[in-house]
Chains A and B, each alone.
Chain A
C-alpha cells in the first residue's frame, strides 16, 4: 500500500482497512473451525485422557469429560516403567537420528558431488530400496543383527537404521542445489575432499539436517514393530512399544489409559516441533525438493 494514497484518502482507506481487518478475522475464524474439525481425533485423544473409566464408554458419548481426572495418568506411571521407557526412546530415536544424519550426509555428498562410476545406478538402487516393504527385509536384517550378537541391545536397534535411503535422497537433492563455486574454491586451495565436506558443505547444510533430523526422530520415536521385534527384554522397551503392554487379554484396550499414555508419549515431539517450526519450513524450502 502506497503511503501517498493513504495520506490523500484517509477516510476511504480507513473503511477499506476496517473491511480488510474484518475479512482477516472472518477468514481466520473459518480456518480455525476447519482446523478444529480436522483435529477432532487429536482433541478426542486429549479429552479422553482426562475421562474417568465410566465416562469413556458412556452412552450417549461425550466430547469433554464431566469429571476431569488424572487417574489415567497415574495409571500409566504405576502400570508401566514410564521413566525408563522414555529414556530408551530418547536413546533409540536420538541415536538413530545422530548416526543417520552423519552417514546420510556423507553418502549424499558423495552422490551429489563425486563423479564415480555407477553413481546414478547407486542412486536408483537407493531410491528403489524405499519401494520394498520392510516386512520383506525384516528377517534378513534381524538375522544379521543376531549374527553380530546385538539382539536385545540398543545398538542392535540403532545400527540397521543408521543410514537411510530417504535421508540420502533428501540430502542429495539439497547438496545439488548448493552452488559448486563454494567448494571448488576450497578445492583449488588444496583442501581435501573431507575438509571441503566438513568445513564448507556441512555448515551450509544445517537447515536440511535439522529437517531430516526431525523426521528421523519422529519416525523412530513412533515406530512400533521395530522395537517389538528387536527387543524382548522389557528393560529396553520404548514408549511406543511399551504402551502395547496396556492391551488386555483378547486385545481389549483400556482407552483412557492408552490415550493418556499416547499424550505423554507425543508431548516431546510436539514441543520439539513447536520450537523449531519456523526454521523447519524454511529449511525444507532450501532443500532441492521445494
Chain B
C-alpha cells in the first residue's frame, strides 16, 4: 500500500499543494515568484472576463451532463433489448467514438461541419438548410462543442448503463408485468430505482468531466468566436501557458476545484442512501 501512497503523495497530492501555494504568488514558472496573498483570487472576482468563463462552463455542464446521460441510457436500453440482432457488434461500434482520440475526433467533426468543404453542410444545403459556420456562430458554437463532447463520451456511460441494466433481476420485470405495468411504468418503477447507484456514478463523473471541458475546445474553437466557448479550463490554460501567469491560473483552478467539490457533494446527497458508499 505504501508505494501507491508514495506515488499519490508525490505526483498527485504534492502538485496540488504546490499549485495551492502558487495561487498565492505572482509567478511565471521560471523567474522569481512573489507572495501576493489573495490578490489572484481578488482578480478572479473582479474580472468580468474570467467570471464569464465560469458562466460558460456552467452552461456547458447544463447542456452536456443531461444530454450525455440520456443518449447513453437510450442506447443502453436499445442494446440490452433481446430483440436486437448483433448486440455485441453494435456495442463495439458505438463504443468506437470513445476509443478515438479527441484530436482526431475534432478533426473529423471539423471536416464534417466545415461550411465550404464539409459534407454535412453540402448535404443539408441540397435540401435547403443552410447550417452556416456553426463553430464560428456565437450562439451555436457552444452547443456544437457540446454535441461533439457527447458524441465522444456517451459510449463510456452507455457501457456503464448496460452493465447496470444487466444486473437488474428479470423477476422484478416479470412481477411488474403481472401487475399490468406497461413499458413506461416498468421503466419508471423498476429500471430507474434499480439504476440509482449507476446514476449517482454517471452524474457525478459526467459533471466533473463537463466542468473540466478543454480538449475539444482547444482543438475545435480555441475558445472562440470571441470567447464564447472559453471555458474555465481553457482560461486556466491561456492564463498559465499563453500569458505565463501561473499564479492566477492556479487560483482559478482552486476556485474550480471548490465549485466541483461542493457540486459533487450535493449530487451525492441528492442520490440519498448511496452517499455512504461513495464519499460519505
Contact = CB atoms under 8 A, between A and B. Distances in A.
The yes or no verdict on A and B being binding partners is yes
Interface of A: 20, 23-25, 27-28, 31, 35, 38-42, 44-45, 48, 57, 59-63, 103-104, 106-107, 109-110, 114, 120, 123-133, 135-137, 139-141, 143-144, 159-163, 165, 168, 173, 176, 218, 221-222, 224, 240, 243-244, 253, 255, 258-259, 262, 265-266, 269-270, 273-274, 277-278, 280-285, 287-290
Given A135-B249, A165-B12, A255-B111, A31 B163 contact: no
B119 A132 contact: no
A110 B171 CA distance: 36
Given A133-B212, A133-B233, A258-B107, 7 more contacts: A42-B100, A44-B112, A123-B279, A144-B14, A162-B7, A163-B4, A290-B167
A137 B90 contact: no
Contact of A274 (B92, B107, B198, B256): B92
11 contacts: A27-B81, A38-B94, A39-B93, A61-B117, A61-B122, A103-B3, A106-B1, A131-B208, A137-B19, A222-B100, A266-B101
Interface of B: 1, 3-5, 7-8, 10-16, 18-19, 22, 29, 78, 81, 83-86, 88, 90-105, 107-109, 111-112, 116-119, 122, 151, 159-160, 162-164, 166-167, 197-198, 201, 208, 211-212, 214, 232-233, 236-237, 240-241, 246, 249-250, 253-254, 256-257, 260-261, 264, 277-280
Contacts of A59: 116-117
Nearest to A267: B99
A35 B264 contact: no
A179 to B, nearest CB: 15
Given A144-B15, A285-B166, A163 B103 contact: no
Contacts of B117: 57, 59, 61
A131 B211 contact: yes
A41 B94 CA distance: 12
B280 A120 contact: yes
Nearest to A48: B111
A210 B8 CA distance: 22
B119 A277 contact: no
Given A137-B15, A273-B99, A284-B163, A259 B261 contact: no
Contact of B104 (A130, A144, A262, A270): A262
B119 A285 contact: no
A35 B107 contact: no
Given A27-B84, A133-B236, A278-B88, A106 B264 contact: no
Nearest to B99: A269
Q: Which of B4, B163, B249 has the most CB of A within 10 A?
A: B4
B8 A107 contact: yes
A236 to B, nearest CB: 19
Given A104-B4, A131-B260, A285-B163, A290 B198 contact: yes
B100 A266 contact: yes
Contacts of B16: 129, 132, 137
